[in-house]
Amino acid sequence: MEGRLLPLFVAVPLAGAFLVPLLAKLWTRFSDLIANVVLALLLGITVHHWLMLSSTGMPMHYWVGGWRLIGIAMWFDALTALILLITNIVGFCAALYSVRYLDRYSSGRWKFYTLLLLLCAGLNGLAISGDLFNMFVFIEISAIASYALVAFGTEEEEVEAAFKYMVLGEVGGAVLLFGIALLYARASTLNLAHLSQVLIGMGRTPFYWFVIATLLIGFAIKMGMEPFHAWLADAHFSAPAPISAMLSGVFIKVTGVYAMCRIMFCVFGVARAETPAFFNLLIAFGAVSMVLGGLLAYSQSDYKRLLAYSSISQIGYILVALGIGNFWGIAGAMFHILAHALSKGTLFLTSGSVERATGTRNLDKLKSLERTMPLTSWSHILASFSMAGVPPFAGFFSKLLIIIGAISARMYWLAFLAALFSAVTFGYLTKVVKQAFFARKDVEPTKAKESPALMGVAMLVLVVLIILAGLGFKGILDYLVGPAAKVLLNGLEYARLVLGGY
Amino acid sequence: MIPYIACVLLFLIGLYVVISKRNLIKIVIGFSLIEYAVNLFFALVGFKKGALAPIITSGEQVRMGVARNFVDPIPQALVLTAIVIGLSTTALMLSLALRLYEKYKTFDISEIRRLKG
Amino acid sequence: MKGMSLIVQVITRLMAGILLLYGGYITLHGHLTPGGGFAGGVLIAAALILVSLAFGSVEQVERREYILSSIFESSGGVLFIGLALAGYVVVDSFFRNAGLYYLGQPLQLVSGGIIPLANIAIMLKVGAGLFAIFLALGASRFVMRE
């Protein structure tokens, strides 16, 4: 089915990013207006396409420029729908939140919004792209925008974190390009569907494994998998709060996990039965990430740093779930992507609210904020419950699916590990809740005012979505997460569907 | 075969510079080496022995039917894009390095360690 | 006012126009010869940087130049997106090559549809962008205030 509106996913944020510097010279607030309108529009288009997909069940394609089979393809199926939904929801809430959050930076509002729109353009383009080099270009666009955004405040620590992040991230990008060059040398095509058909004919030679290893290293750097996790804590800690929400909730998953899944499952066609080595590798590294991130998070005293280490741990969960390889495991991974994006986004936004109101992020100094900032506190508490896996929030169902997947694949020790670290997550998150938000009755609350209306609305939207995703768990499994998991399981179907129309 | 091995060697030299040197500017130069190596490798992928550059230079080529003996033009277009990406990356890295120098008054990366934990 | 020596200033006065012209030439013939928008843009930026270095101290760059380069850069970008959407609206497909002789007539200057216009848009963006990067690196005190 032809998707006539698919190019708008790329064109609209790019047009917004180019218009903001021009129009912001007339009136400063134009940049806020354009950014929010653009992201709201993107959200609307995403929901429209998802509803169309759910009702007809047929994925949509689009060939750029009308050049069939030699041009760039755009492809919208269930996996794309899931990724685009989380990107645009968190992006819209981050833009809404930034309208008041940027008051602490005296100048440069238009720079922030230009970079944010470029980041969203890169992520959206990556999600719908059906062409290998096009994916690389969009990965690099969003990565460069994120480096500049991490350094936005230009204090010492932020610039240092941005530099370290940048060197590591760009080396990862160079390794990725190397893998793409090797792949092109062998297959002479860049279209993902055509590539997968060519690769079937080539068999599992050592060259095949070398290319998979190279691409895996490139993606591992981008998503903070062990042993390349060193940049995550500093970068997410130093970025402005809405950008930390975007980075932690969306960026590492889309440019790391989604790109890796799309290439490994749909192009290379790895499956648990034929190539167990790949999946065991994912489980091994995922388990190490899970354990390391969880343990390091426990000992932090800074609010945002704790959340950053928790992100490393949750990425470990997703990798372990992908490595399990059956339907429940992959569905659990997809659901966890959704739940973690919403929850971690809310948590970072509340941390920004707290910092704006009280001026500090040190957990030892924040006391009993529930009395003075009720909206922020309750958003934080509900999001923590979701991340720790408390029913009936979304996080509980995603962890349940992962544990079911582990048990049905007879990996009991993995199920035990997942449950154990779920408890550890609960531990360090409630430590924050108890200490900062609900302290003893006789302690003076820290001086704070509640957040302004727009920031509150952004947090509220995310929390409501978390609750809805938990309550409407069956619907999300049937219409969003389940089809996405099926796309990954039947990896080679992708090629047949894309080229089948011709 | 020799040019490909030279590319990999250049990549490894660049990686060594990024990992082991302590001066910020040297790290940026090392990253540039990595990027040159990968771009060169990609451009070499399209080579065919005894072929011409993929530009139509005269009317007879048009009449004879083009694409008879041209080097693959797709890697050249891709490498152009990759060079532009590398350029903006290097510019951003250098401006970050400048800002770091202003704040910390040194280019030595072992002294730029305010973030701990 | 600082700058460079008299010889450099005289030569720059002669060369700047030629450099700009050459950059435009490379851009306009981008669909026939190697080069195109990016190479032309780099030459334009080089000419602007040469003038800025030879004739004035970089720290005393005027606000007017900075704002102008920002406007040019954004206009180049908007023009490019406009061309892409023109293919979408006018013909049938996003980025479709619309315009005269879009399938290309070899060796003719007026051919290739919207490709020469896209090259011009890229030249504007790259030239202004590289000049703005130079200003940001060199005249950093001024740019930070913006």
Domain boundaries, chain A: 317-471
N residues, chain C: 146
CA C146/CA B6 separation, integer angstroms: 45
Between chain A and chain B, the number of residue pairs with CB atoms below 8 A apart is 90
User: Among A87, A74, A7, which residue's Cα sits nearest to residue A47?
Assistant: A87
Would you state the pLDDT for residue B12? 94
CA A408/CA C110 separation, integer angstroms: 66
- Choose among A22, A62, A65: nearest Cβ to C71: A22
pLDDT > 70? residue A110: yes
Selection from A99-108, A214-223, A263-272, B5-14 with the highest mean pLDDT: B5-14
Would you state the pLDDT for residue C146? 46
Residue window 19-78, chain B: list those with CB within 8 Å of chain C.
55-56, 58-59, 62
Judged by CB atoms closer than 8 Å, whether chains meet at B80 and C38 is answered as yes
pLDDT > 90? residue B27: yes
Query: Buried b vs exposed e over A405-444: b needs ≥16 C-beta within 10 Å?
Result: bbeebebeebbebbeebbebbbebbbebbeebbbbeeeee
Q: Does B98 touch chain C (CB under 8 A)?
A: yes
Q: What are phi and psi of A423, to 5 degrees?
A: -65, -40
Task: State both tokens at A419.
Answer: 């449950």
- Contacts of C14 by beta carbon, 8 Å cutoff, 6+ apart: none
DSSP characters for C33-59?
Answer: SS--HHHHHHHHHHHHHHHHHHHS-GG
Phi-psi region of A410 (alpha: psi -120 to 50; beta: other; left: phi over 0): left
- Under 8 Å between Cβ of C128 and C76: yes
Would you state the pLDDT for residue A502? 46
The model's confidence at residue A189, banded by pLDDT at 50, 70 and 90, is confident
Contacts of C140 in chain B (CB under 8 A): 95, 98
Q: Mean of the per-residue pLDDT values for chain C?
A: 79
CA angle at A124 for the pair C72 and B85, rounded to the nearest 5°: 50
- Choose among A133, A155, A174: nearest Cβ to B78: A133
CA B21/CA B24 separation, integer angstroms: 8
Contacts of B95 in chain C (CB under 8 A): 133, 136-137, 140
CA A327/CA A476 separation, integer angstroms: 15
Q: What are phi and psi of A24, to 5 degrees?
A: -70, -10
Q: Mean of the per-residue pLDDT values for chain B?
A: 84
Q: Which residue(s) pair with C12 in the sheet?
A: none
Task: State both tokens at B81.
Answer: 């894009």
* Spacing of C-alpha A64 from chain mean position: 26
Instruction: Look at the block and give the residue holding tokens 């509340």.
Output: A350
Would you state the pLDDT for residue C133? 86
- Under 8 Å between Cβ of A351 and A241: yes
pLDDT > 90? residue A225: no
What's the CA dihedral at C134, C139, C144, C146 to 10 degrees?
-80
Residue predicted with more confidence, A202 or A154: A202
CA angle at C58 for the pair C57 and C59, rounded to the nearest 5°: 95
Judged by CB atoms closer than 8 Å, whether chains meet at A160 and B117 is answered as no
- Of A160-169, A187-196, B27-36, C1-10, the one with minimum mean pLDDT is C1-10
pTM (2 decimals)? 0.92
pLDDT > 60? residue C144: no
What's the CA dihedral at A356, A360, A361, A362 to 10 degrees?
-160
Contacts of B101 in chain C (CB under 8 A): none
Q: Which of B20, B94, B96, B112 to mutate to test the interface with A (most CBs of A within 10 A)?
A: B96
| Other Cβ atoms closer than 10 A to C115 | 18
Burial class (CB in 10 A: 0-12, 13-18, 19+), A103: exposed
pLDDT > 90? residue A101: no
> Identity (one letter) of the amino acid at A24?
A
Residue predicted with more confidence, C16 or A501: C16
CA B73/CA C117 separation, integer angstroms: 22
What is the mean pLDDT of the segment spanning C133-140?
A: 75
- Of A254-258, B89-93, C65-69, the one with minimum mean pLDDT is C65-69
Helix (H) and strand (E) counts for chain A?
A: 22, 2
pLDDT > 60? residue C98: no
Q: Does C140 touch chain B (CB under 8 A)?
A: yes
Residue window 5-34, chain C: list those with CB within 8 Å of chain B.
33-34
> Identity (one letter) of the amino acid at A334?
M
Task: State both tokens at A342.
Answer: 């919403």
Rounded to whole angstroms, what are the CA distances from A471 to A51, A397, A468, B35?
Answer: 19, 10, 5, 49
- Under 8 Å between Cβ of A6 and A74: yes
Judged by CB atoms closer than 8 Å, whether chains meet at A178 and B78 is answered as no
- For residue range A9-48, what is the model confidence (pLDDT) as tens digits? 888 999 999 999 888 888 878 888 888 999 999 999 999 9
Residue predicted with more confidence, A479 or A87: A87
- Choose among A18, A62, A65: nearest Cβ to C77: A18
- For residue range C53-64, what is the model confidence (pLDDT) as tens digits? 887 755 556 677
CA A424/CA A199 separation, integer angstroms: 43
**What whole-number percentage of chain B has pLDDT above 70?**
85
Burial class (CB in 10 A: 0-12, 13-18, 19+), A302: middle
- Choose among B18, B103, B117: nearest Cβ to A159: B103
The model's confidence at residue B65, banded by pLDDT at 50, 70 and 90, is low
pLDDT > 90? residue C92: no
Q: Which of A72, A134, A171, A301 to mutate to test the interface with B (most CBs of B within 10 A)?
A: A171
Would you state the pLDDT for residue C111? 65
| Other Cβ atoms closer than 10 A to C136 | 18
> Identity (one letter) of the amino acid at A152?
F
Q: Does C103 touch chain B (CB under 8 A)?
A: no
> Identity (one letter) of the amino acid at C13?
R
User: Among C75, C92, C52, which residue's Cα sits nearest to residue C129?
Assistant: C75
- Contacts of A385 by beta carbon, 8 Å cutoff, 6+ apart: A393, A395
CA C55/CA C62 separation, integer angstroms: 12
- For residue range A330-386, what is the model confidence (pLDDT) as tens digits? 888 999 999 899 999 988 988 888 877 777 667 666 666 666 677 777 888 888 888
What is the mean pLDDT of the segment spanning A82-89?
A: 92
Judged by CB atoms closer than 8 Å, whether chains meet at B115 and A238 is answered as yes
ipTM for this model: 0.92
Would you state the pLDDT for residue A431? 78
The architecture in CATH of the region B2-111 reads Orthogonal Bundle (1.10)
Helix/strand/coil for C94: coil
- For residue range A135-179, what is the model confidence (pLDDT) as tens digits? 999 999 999 999 999 988 777 788 888 898 999 999 999 999 999
- For residue range A56-80, what is the model confidence (pLDDT) as tens digits? 877 888 887 767 777 788 888 888 8
CA A330/CA A234 separation, integer angstroms: 30
pLDDT > 60? residue A97: yes
* Angstroms from A13 CA to nearest CA on chain B: 19
- For residue range B105-116, what is the model confidence (pLDDT) as tens digits? 888 877 777 666
Question: What are the DSSP E strand ranges found in A173-251?
Answer: none
Q: Which residue(s) pair with B70 in the sheet?
A: B52
- For residue range A452-495, what is the model confidence (pLDDT) as tens digits? 777 778 888 888 888 888 887 777 777 778 788 887 777 777 77
Domain boundaries, chain B: 2-111
Would you state the pLDDT for residue A441? 54
Q: Mean of the per-residue pLDDT values for chain A?
A: 84
Query: Buried b vs exposed e over C5-42: b needs ≥16 C-beta within 10 Å?
Result: eeeeeeebeeebeebbeebeebbbbbbbeebbbbbbbb
Between chain B and chain C, the number of residue pairs with CB atoms below 8 A apart is 20
N residues, chain B: 117
* Angstroms from B95 CA to nearest CA on chain C: 6
Q: Which residue of C has its CA nearest to B83?
A: C38
> Identity (one letter) of the amino acid at A294?
G
Helices (H), chain B: 2-20, 24-45, 59-64, 74-104
* Angstroms from C19 CA to nearest CA on chain A: 27
- Contacts of C50 by beta carbon, 8 Å cutoff, 6+ apart: C12, C15, C16, C19
